[in-house]
Structure 1
Amino acid sequence: MSRFPDWPPDAAPIPRTALSRGVVLSGAGLKGLALAYPWVPEVRDGDTSPDDYIVDSEAPADPPRRFRTLQAAVDQAIRDGAGARDDGRRVIRIAPGFYRGPVFLPAEAPPLSLLGAGSEKVTLAARIDAQMPGREYEERFDADFAAAPPPVRAQFARIAARERITTGNTAVLRIERSDTCVAGLTIRNDYACDRREAAPPGAVPDVNGRYAHGQHQAVACHVAGADRVQLLDLHLESFQDTLYLQSPVAGIGRSYLSGCRISGDVDFIFGGATAFFDRCEVVTRGSRGARSWALAPSTNLWMPHGFVFDRCRFSHDGSEAGRDGTSFLGRQWFEGVRATPYCVPNGAQYRCVLGDADNLDAHVGQISRRCLEAVGKCIVLNSQIGAHISRAPPWDAWSAGDWSPRYRPVQASGREFLRYLDAWLAEMKRDYACVCAHPAWLRVENCTTCQDRVRS
């Protein structure tokens, strides 16, 4: 193994303790002010907690303890929790087998642990994509939610009522409940990137019916604004948008991932939440020929941490596409952008102003503070990075290539944010000078190279 180049190359080393798991997940803000109560995930080699519910696809159902589907067990836990005097954790033990999604864990549920028999033995799967019509979603899954408690049924109804369900409603497992732990299973979105109306006009599929380009978002696991979530020893599989770590509307959302393998091709670990990845494997899939960015953080400018990867491995599935430095670690998700203030070409008949919404009307656009401040932060430390990842640089611009109204360049720090936008911010009468003192937004440090092919 050789050393993967640090990036940016001239950056000072990060102190060893500055990005430990405890620091990243502590809930402390940029100036040490508490954003949330401190959190230290309980890391155990094996969970021997007594189970409250058993899910077994091969055994007869025997409520209120034994069920054949995971959603039925979650529904029972919600009903039991509604009548309980305490807010105690419920443990759902999942036997080896195949289970059909989607599964919803609403905010109204009690704290839940979903403990599978192992990622090679337990699979939760469904085929759902962002361009799916709501009526199709309803027809396929209505029977699974017909007897669900009100919070679950309401979530299903909201999705089914949409014309197109959109990315945030495609998850096989949706986690809204804070303090959730999920361990020991494979969560897979089986959408094959084959919806014709999601592909560009004139696009031709490959021999397997898959399109390399278009809007093929299909989430496997969605942490939907929840805090203190543990994802342990999971295999998460899809193509585009495999793992969505969504920040809450207010406050901080923290997740801890350990021993997970996450596979995809386009922006397949994305969102604005804070997450610490410990000894995980991030697998780029080249099989459908899409250009690949593994990571797409949209961390708010005022959050101290976005995604931190420590002792992880970035590998490739061994197929032809996306190898030999043609893939990227990631790009900073310009979440919600319709009009950019960045790098407007001289003479362009285009103007962007700061406003309350994000839109573009002819050649005049607005960008909201929420969108402007979704800068995206990601640090990769002490990890192994395959030859499929570009060295110069490992990060890519948003909407790379020719300038477009959604363009944003790579920004490794607050200083670069100001270098690009200082004059525009002055015109908008906004002062962001303090961001120069913020810690790094993007870093690669103390990493080595590794073979491309994914480990068995």
Structure 2
Amino acid sequence: MLITVSKNGNEGYTSLQEALDSIPQGHPSEVTIRIKPGIYEEKITVDKAAPPILLLGEDPHSTVITWSDNAHTLGKDGEPLGTFRSGTLNVFAEGFTAENLTIRNASGPGTGQAVAAFVDAGQAVFRRVRLLGDQDTLYTGQGRQYYNECYIEGDVDYIFGAATALFDHCHLHNKRSRGYITAASTPEGAPFGYVFLDCKITGGEGVSEVYLGRPWRPFAHVAFIRTVMDGSVIGEGWHNWGQPDREKSSRYEEFGSSGTGANPAARAPWSRQLTAEEAAEYRVLPVLDGWHPEGY
């Protein structure tokens, strides 16, 4: 099933949410929603009962989904939305893919938690997607998630959550000094949390002392494999969130980091530098427990 969304109204729907809502209940096969270039100012929800959905843009710079809720925004009930209702794109479907899009939370710096993509799907794929925000840009709620050639920016805990998520050739951009890239809440016993393969980390002008991660929950797992890091990354690398006990249970790992932000000798002593043999296990299929993302 193919649906088209166009800002000019000449083709299909003018609203992405209207297009999603038009899918018949119980539709048995994948639905592709082709999104023509334009800025779509909408808060989007992909329901749990939705069939596999592909949101397909033409170009990530010209196809933009944007909204500006944050944790302090008042909802229809008159109460603050909180972090988990602030998302611009909210995905609850079992299977979901987005390609060639920008997803932005335009709330702005200093406004608190403001999620661009809230991803709580069983299996989710993002390819060539720009995720723009400040604090809490990307929430990875559950399941297995694959990000390929994506650009993700933020300042505090801008990739956070419990899912097993693999970031393949992605670009992470730090917008503020003394921030944190990841805040993983990996469940106890999960073999993998966040794995970054062949990624790069940059910072804005003058940005420094950014940590690779801090443990939102005690068993946080994050691994950076062959990542190029600029000088915005602090030598210590990892922060214990003011809870020393989490140094014993968190798993923070690196292998083959390069660039001015790569400094194994200065890293927090409770983190690990993997051996080549250990790092060889950090591949797409083992990390995603045998799931083979379509097109990988």
Normalising by structure 1, we get a TM-score of 0.55
Q: Establish whether residue 269 from structure 1 lines up as the match of residue 187 from structure 2.
A: no
CA contact (8 A) 2:147 2:165 kept: yes
1:386 maps to 230
Q: Structure 2 CA distance, aligned partners of 1:451 and 1:301?
A: 29
Number of the residue aligned with 1:185: 101
Aligned partner (choices 8, 16, 21) of residue 75 of structure 1: 21
Task: Identify the residue that residue 258 of structure 1 maps to in structure 2.
Answer: 148
Matching of residues 349-360 of structure 1 within 5 Å: none
Offset from partner CA, 1:93-137 (integer Å, 9 cap, x none): 001111012100010111110001111110000111001111xxx
User: What are the ranges of 5 or more consecutive residues in structure 2 without an aligned counterpart?
Assistant: 263-296
The percent identity for this pair of structures is 27
Contact 2:31/2:52 (<8 A) preserved: yes
Deviation at 1:277, TM superposition (A): 0.4
Distance 1:102 1:184 in 2: 18
Q: Does structure 1 conserve the Cα–Cα contact (< 8 Å) formed by 2:101 and 2:130?
A: yes
| 1:280 corresponds to which of 131, 148, 170 | 170
Report if the CA contact (8 A) 1:396-1:410 is conserved. no
Number of equivalenced pairs: 262
Please say if residues 66 and 88 of structure 2, whose CA atoms lie closer than 8 Å, have aligned partners that are also in contact.
yes
CA offset digits 1:194-243 (Å, max 9, x no partner): xxxxxxxxxxxxxxxxx4xxx6000000102x111001100000000000
The SS at the match of 2:21 is helix
- Say which SS state the counterpart of residue 283 (structure 1) adopts: strand
1:11-53 deviations in Å (ceiling 9; x for gaps): xxxxxxxxxxxxxxxxxxxxxxxxxxxxxxxxxxxxxxxx610
Which structure has more relative contact order (CA 8 Å, sep 6+)? It is 1
Partner residue, 2:259: 449
Question: What is the CA–CA distance in structure 2 between the aligned matches of 1:451 and 1:186, rounded to whole Å?
Answer: 27
Larger helix proportion of the pair: 1
Tell me if 1:123 matches 2:123. no
The 5 A counterparts of 1:162-181 are: 163-181=79-97
Which residue of 31, 54, 59 corresponds with 1:90?
Answer: 31
In structure 2, what residue type is equivalent to 1:191?
Answer: S
Question: 1:40-439, aligned counterparts within 5 Å?
Answer: 52-60=2-10, 66-77=12-23, 80-82=24-26, 84=27, 87-134=28-75, 160-161=76-77, 163-193=79-109, 211=110, 216-224=112-120, 226-247=121-142, 253-286=143-176, 291-318=178-205, 320=206, 322-323=207-208, 326-334=209-217, 374-391=218-235, 393-398=236-241, 400=242, 407-408=243-244, 411=247, 416-417=248-249
Shift, 1:60, TM fit: 3.6
Evaluate the alpha carbon distance shift between residue 408 and residue 246 of structure 1 in structure 2; reply closer, same or farther with a 3 A threshold.
farther
| Aligned equivalents of 1:451, 1:68: Cα separation in 2 | 45
1:10 counterpart residue number: none
2:289 matched residue in structure 1: none
Q: CA deviation at 1:327?
A: 1.2
Amino acid at match of 1:259: E
The 8 Å contact of residues 224 and 253 in structure 2, kept in 1 or not, is answered as yes
Residue 171 of structure 1 aligns to a residue in which SS? coil
Distance 2:9 2:77 in 1: 34
User: Using the alignment, how far apart are the partners of 1:162 and 1:307 within structure 2?
Assistant: 35
SS of residue paired to 2:17: helix
Mapped partners of 2:133, 2:260: distance in 1:
23
Shift of 1:408: 4.4
Which protein is bigger by CA-based radius of gyration? 1
Opposite residue 118 of structure 2, the aligned amino acid is: H
Q: Post-superposition shift, 1:271?
A: 0.3
| Residues 323-347 of structure 1, C-alpha deviations (whole Å, 9 max, x = no match) | 2xx111110113xxxxxxxxxxxxx
For the residues of structure 2 that align with 1:75 and 1:450, how far apart are their CA atoms? 48
Q: For the residues of structure 2 that align with 1:445 and 1:106, how far apart are their CA atoms?
A: 38
Alignment match, 2:280? none
Change (3 A) 1:259 1:450: farther
Distance change in 2, residues 1:162/1:109 (3 Å): farther
Question: Which whole-Å CA distance do the structure 2 matches of 1:408 and 1:101 have between them?
Answer: 42
Give the conservation status (yes or no) of the 8 Å contact 1:331–1:410.
no
Letter in 1 for 2:259: T
CA RMSD in angstroms comes to: 1.9
Contact preservation (8 Å) 1:315, 1:451: no
Aligned-residue offset at 1:162 = 5.9
- List runs of 5+ in structure 1 lacking aligned partners: 1-50, 135-159, 194-210, 248-252, 335-373, 401-406, 418-439
Q: Distance in 1 between matches of 2:93 and 2:260?
A: 37
TM-score under structure 2 length normalisation: 0.84
Q: Distance in 2 between matches of 1:186 and 1:451?
A: 27
Query: Aligned partners of 1:279, 1:188: CA distance in 2, in Å?
Result: 20
